[in-house]
């Protein structure tokens, strides 16, 4: 049948006035077009029939992994092999009347296409594996993006060697032998990749950072959420919505702050000081204590302390006539207790975590009265609002304790001083 077909084709070509090499080239062209047409029909059938069946099966299944592989185009990439296989198998038959070199060239072209499609298929498959892995709980602490990228590089490297060996008609071992001579150059070219791979293992193995973590690394202007950890870079979205990229190996060789511990603890630290003018600090007299006793948060405290102090001072007898020997409350101490009682009554403050209201070392700017507590709400905007509410109240109530907040003189202060006004 084939001989008859070719004979008839030759007769027809001779009948239209072609001869010799013209007939050979036209026959070759027609056969190539026919082979391409058959390959196209095969590709169309495989996509319409094969993919349609696969899609129906996947959509009906209850598993997730096959849906991910379908979304990553693994099955559609697999369908591309059908026309290449058809061309490879039919080339020897179709071009049997031509020199062996013709079929060999066509087979080589089909082989190259299959190698390229295999690389594309494995790339899609790895993306699917990564997508399946990210649906597991382990993925939250152990990202594998860097490992997947390394495997892709190896696939492309091996695929490139196979393609070159096919084009140049050399064995893959020939190129692998030659790679040894360029090892130093390869190490230089892939230096960041190698360092990034080692760093990825350390980051993942030690659970140092993962996507979703809030990190700060001032050297790289990074302060925000980790979006992605790749083989070469860590992508961070800053709070101003800019994107900062950090070399992966820098996360191991340099220091950075990971705020994950704060997020997992259930509280966010408030650490701020009020600078008290030390000239306003003094002992409380009876009039002040009477006023303080009317303040709800410290009423019981003042009553208890007045009773204890009275008993203590009465026990001094003659020594009690010297004011220096008397036990007395101070306005700064009372204010410190007020702050503590006020914070404990605040439902937004975490009482089970560190809770301190303390004095720091006095400086030329006054006496720092530091608040060191944790808010229950970790969200930035709400955390700032809680902190602002606390200090709004404390700054406004300080004069009730006959205290002053230290502040460097401003233009208004000098104007008041020279004009004699308050």
Distance CA 24, CA 300 (A): 112
Helix (H) or strand (E) holding 357: strand 356-359
- Examine the domain organization and report whether 237 and 337 are in the same domain: no
- Examine the domain organization and report whether 373 and 341 are in the same domain: yes
Distance CA 38, CA 369 (A): 86
- Picking from 137, 168, 193, the residue at the C-terminal end of a domain is 193
What's the CATH code of the domain at 245?
2.30.30.60
- Examine the domain organization and report whether 344 and 314 are in the same domain: no
- Examine the domain organization and report whether 26 and 113 are in the same domain: yes
% pLDDT > 90, the chain: 26
pLDDT (0 to 100) of residue 1: 37
Which residues lie below 8 Å from residue 284, measured CB to CB, with a gap of 6+? Answer: 292, 328, 329, 330, 331, 334
Q: Is pLDDT of 330 > 90?
A: yes
pLDDT (0 to 100) of residue 70: 77
pLDDT (0 to 100) of residue 344: 94
- Examine the domain organization and report whether 272 and 260 are in the same domain: no
- Examine the domain organization and report whether 44 and 184 are in the same domain: yes
* Structural domain that includes position 261: 203-265
pLDDT (0 to 100) of residue 2: 44
- Examine the domain organization and report whether 154 and 72 are in the same domain: yes
Q: Is pLDDT of 4 > 70?
A: no
Q: Is pLDDT of 402 > 70?
A: yes
- Examine the domain organization and report whether 20 and 141 are in the same domain: yes
Q: Is pLDDT of 245 > 80?
A: yes
Q: What would the pLDDT profile of 343-390 be if each residue is shown by its tens digit?
A: 999 999 998 889 999 999 999 999 999 999 999 988 888 999 999 999
Closest CA to 68 of 129, 145, 122, 147: 129
192, 249 Cβ separation under 8 angstroms = yes
- Examine the domain organization and report whether 30 and 110 are in the same domain: yes
What's the CATH code of the domain at 376?
3.30.70.100
Which two structure tokens, joined as six digits, stand for 331? 């306005």
Torsions phi, psi of 272, nearest 5?
-150, 150
- Report yes or no on 401 lying in a domain: yes
Which residues lie below 8 Å from residue 30, measured CB to CB, with a gap of 6+? Answer: 9
- Examine the domain organization and report whether 242 and 302 are in the same domain: no
Q: What would the pLDDT profile of 185-204 be if each residue is shown by its tens digit?
A: 666 666 777 777 778 777 77
Q: Is pLDDT of 71 > 90?
A: no
Strand partners, 215: 224, 258
87, 37 Cβ separation under 8 angstroms = no
Instruction: Work out the pLDDT band at 13, boundaries 50, 70, 90.
Output: low
% pLDDT > 70, the chain: 82
pLDDT (0 to 100) of residue 7: 46
Query: How many domains are contained in the chain?
Result: 4
Compute the residue count for the chain.
422
- Report yes or no on 358 lying in a domain: yes
Which two structure tokens, joined as six digits, stand for 322? 């010297």
Q: What would the pLDDT profile of 102-140 be if each residue is shown by its tens digit?
A: 777 777 888 888 888 888 888 888 888 888 887 877 766
229, 249 Cβ separation under 8 angstroms = no
Distance CA 212, CA 131 (A): 16
- Report yes or no on 407 lying in a domain: yes
pLDDT (0 to 100) of residue 21: 53
- Examine the domain organization and report whether 31 and 176 are in the same domain: yes
- Which phi-psi region, left, alpha or beta, contains residue 80 (left: φ > 0; alpha: ψ -120 to 50)? alpha
pLDDT (0 to 100) of residue 301: 93
- Report yes or no on 198 lying in a domain: no
Please provide the average confidence, as pLDDT, over all residues in the chain.
81
- Examine the domain organization and report whether 302 and 345 are in the same domain: no
């Amino acid at each position: 049948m084939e001989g008859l077909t070719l004979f008839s084709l030759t007769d027809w070509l001779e009948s239209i006035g072609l001869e010799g090499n013209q007939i050979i080239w036209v026959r070759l062209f027609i056969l190539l077009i026919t082979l391409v047409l058959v390959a196209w029909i095969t590709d169309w059938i495989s996509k319409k029939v094969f993919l349609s069946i696969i899609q129906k099966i996947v959509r009906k299944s209850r598993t997730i992994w096959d849906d991910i592989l379908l979304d990553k185009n693994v099955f559609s990439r697999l369908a591309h092999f059908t026309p290449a296989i058809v061309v490879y198998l039919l080339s020897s038959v179709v071009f049997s009347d031509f020199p062996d070199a013709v079929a060999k060239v066509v087979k080589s072209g089909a082989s190259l296409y299959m190698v390229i499609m295999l690389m594309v298929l494995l790339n899609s498959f790895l993306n699917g594996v990564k997508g399946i892995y990210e649906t597991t709980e382990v993925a939250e602490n152990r990202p594998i993006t860097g490992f997947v990228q390394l495997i892709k590089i190896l696939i492309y490297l091996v695929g490139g060697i196979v393609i070159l060996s096919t084009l140049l008609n050399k064995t893959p071992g020939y190129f692998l032998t030659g790679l040894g001579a360029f090892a130093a150059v390869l190490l230089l070219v892939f230096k960041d990749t190698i360092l990034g791979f080692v760093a990825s293992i350390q980051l993942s193995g030690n659970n140092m950072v993962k996507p979703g973590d809030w990190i700060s690394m001032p050297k790289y202007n990074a302060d925000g959420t980790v979006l992605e950890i790749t083989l070469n870079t860590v992508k961070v979205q800053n709070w101003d919505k800019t994107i900062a990229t950090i070399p992966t190996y820098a996360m191991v060789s340099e220091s950075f702050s990971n705020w994950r511990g704060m997020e997992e603890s259930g509280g966010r630290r408030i650490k701020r000081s009020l600078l008290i003018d030390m000239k306003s600090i003094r002992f409380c007299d009876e009039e002040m204590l009477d006023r303080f006793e009317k303040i709800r948060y410290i009423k019981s405290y003042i009553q208890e302390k007045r009773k204890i102090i009275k008993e203590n001072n009465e026990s001094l007898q003659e020594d009690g006539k010297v004011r220096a020997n008397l036990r007395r409350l101070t306005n700064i101490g009372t204010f410190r207790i007020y702050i503590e009682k006020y914070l404990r009554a605040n439902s937004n403050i975490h009482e089970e975590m560190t809770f301190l209201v303390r004095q720091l070392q006095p400086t030329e700017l006054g006496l720092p009265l530091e608040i060191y507590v944790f808010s229950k709400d970790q969200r930035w905007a709400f955390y700032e609002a809680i902190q602002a509410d606390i200090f709004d109240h404390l700054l406004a109530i300080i004069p009730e304790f006959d205290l002053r907040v230290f502040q460097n003189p401003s233009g208004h202060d000098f104007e008041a001083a020279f004009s004699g006004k308050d």
